[in-house]
Amino acid sequence: MAKAQTDIGLKNLYKIPWTKNNNPNGWIEPTTYCQLACPGCYRGLALPNPIRIHENLAKLKKEIDTLIKIRNIKILSIAGGEPLLYPKLNALISYATSRGLKTRLVTNGAALTIERLKELKKLGTTEVAIHVAQYQNRGNFESEEKLNLIRQRFCQLFRQVGGVELNFVMTVSKKNFHQLPKVINFYKKNSDIVSRVVFTLFKDIFFKQKNGEDSINYITLSRLAKLIGKLYRAEPCAYLGKKFSKKEPGWLFFAPIILGEKTVGFADAKTAEKLHHQNNNGSWNSFPAGEKKWSLLQTLSIMSLSCATKTVIGYISSLLKNPKSFLKTPKCQIIVIFNTPNLTKHGWDICESCPDAMLYNEKLVPSCLLERVKLGEKIEI
C-alpha cells in the first residue's frame, strides 16, 4: 500500500471545481490493438495473449452521447490501445465533431504520418497527445535523451501541418527521473509547438495479490514537482484534488510562459481561476491555457497584477540579454503531473471527479483502473 505524498501547499493554489456530472473531459477507447506492447501497459497489452478488439462504432457513438448528457463534456479524448489502428477512427472523429466536441487523440504516434495528420486535422482533431517514454518498445532508444530524436520528429511534423496542438506524455519513475532535465530542456526549446506536457507518476497497479504492490521505483509527486519548478523556474498554479487525500493533488498544474528557451513568467492561482471561469463561459480551450495564438498583451490582460508585472519584467530582461528574442512570441506551456491512484484502507484514492472516466457496462469507471473493474472490483467515481 503506497504511502501518502508530502503536502506541497495546496491552500495557495486554485482548486479546479470539476464534478462527476460537470467535467469537460470525455474518454473513450475504440480499440485494444497496439503495436508496442509496452511493459506496464495499463491495458495489460504486454501480457501473454491479451484480448484485442475493435469496438462497434454505434456503441462508441452512444457512449459519446451519454458522456455529453451526464458529464457535460467539451473535449473528447480518444485513446486505447492505439487509436490510429481503429479502422473507423475517421467516422468516430467526425461524429464527435458533429456533436460540437473538440477531440484529443492519445497515441504512441507510431502510425502518424504527415498525410494522416492532415487528414485528422480536416476531420476536426484539435489536439494530439503523443506518449513517448523509455518504457516503450521503440527499438534502439534506450534513454530519454535519445527519445528526444523521436520527439523532435513529431515537433517538425506538427510545425509543418499547423493548426493541431501537440502534447507529450511520459511516465516517470526512479529509472528515468535523473534524465528529466534533458527532456524538460527539450520541451522548453520547442515551446513554440509543444503546448502541453503530462508527466505520469509510475504506479504498479496490476499486482495480483492484496497488498502486493511493488513501490520500489516510485517517485513522489513532491519530488517531481520540485524538479519541474526548478527547471522551469515556475510555481504550480492549480490542482485537482483526490478522493481521500485532502493534502495531495490528483493533477498538479504549472503554466510557465516561455520566450525562446527562457521562462519569463508563469500563471499564478488567481490567473488560473480567471482562465478557468473564462473557458467555462466561452469557447472551450483545455484548462488552463488560453488560445496558443494570443499575443503577449492579450495574455497579460487576463493575468493577476502581480503575475503580469513579473512577466513584463522577465520579458524585458530576456530582450536585453538577447535582442533577437523580440522576433519571437512568448508561449504558455502547460505542465501537468498526473498522480496516479494508490490503494488505501478506504479504497482506491482516485482523482476527484476522475476527468479520464469512461463508460463500462453503462457505468462511469476510472480508465486507469478499468482492468481491475473487469476483475470484479467495485471502484466508483
Q: What pLDDT digit, counting tens, does each position of 234-255 carry?
A: 999 999 999 998 888 999 999 9
- Structural domain includes residue 5: no
Q: What percent of the chain has pLDDT over 90?
A: 61
- Structural domain includes residue 34: yes
Contacts of 314-321 with C-beta under 8 Å, sequence gap 24+, read 314/257, 314/262, 314/263, 314/264, 314/265, 315/259, 315/264, 315/265, 317/264, 318/259, 318/260, 318/262, 318/264
Return the residue matching grid coordinates 475493435.
Answer: 54
Query: Crossing angle, helix 89-98 and helix 57-71, to 10 degrees?
Result: 30
Structural domain including 133 reads 10-374
What local confidence, expressed as pLDDT, does residue 280 receive?
Answer: 60
How does the average pLDDT of the chain come out, rounded? 87
- Structural domain includes residue 265: yes
CATH number, domain of 271, equals: 3.20.20.70
What local confidence, expressed as pLDDT, does residue 192 receive?
Answer: 92
- Structural domain includes residue 155: yes
Please, which residues bridge with residue 238 across strands?
14, 253
Q: What percent of the chain has pLDDT over 70?
A: 89
Distance CA 365, CA 330 (A): 39
- The number of residues in the chain equals 381
**pLDDT(137) > 80:** no
- Structural domain includes residue 195: yes
Instruction: Tell me which of 64 and 143 has the higher pLDDT.
Output: 64
Confirm if 287 and 276 have CB atoms less than 8 A apart.
yes
DSSP 54: B
pTM: 0.91
pLDDT single digits (tens) 285-339: 444 433 445 555 666 777 778 888 888 888 788 877 877 766 677 888 999 999 9
- Structural domain includes residue 379: no
- Structural domain includes residue 2: no
For the four alpha carbons of 228, 234, 240 and 244, in that order, the dihedral sign comes to positive
**For the chain, what is the domain count?**
1
pLDDT single digits (tens) 140-160: 777 899 999 999 999 999 999
**pLDDT(379) > 50:** yes
What local confidence, expressed as pLDDT, does residue 375 receive?
Answer: 85
- Structural domain includes residue 3: no
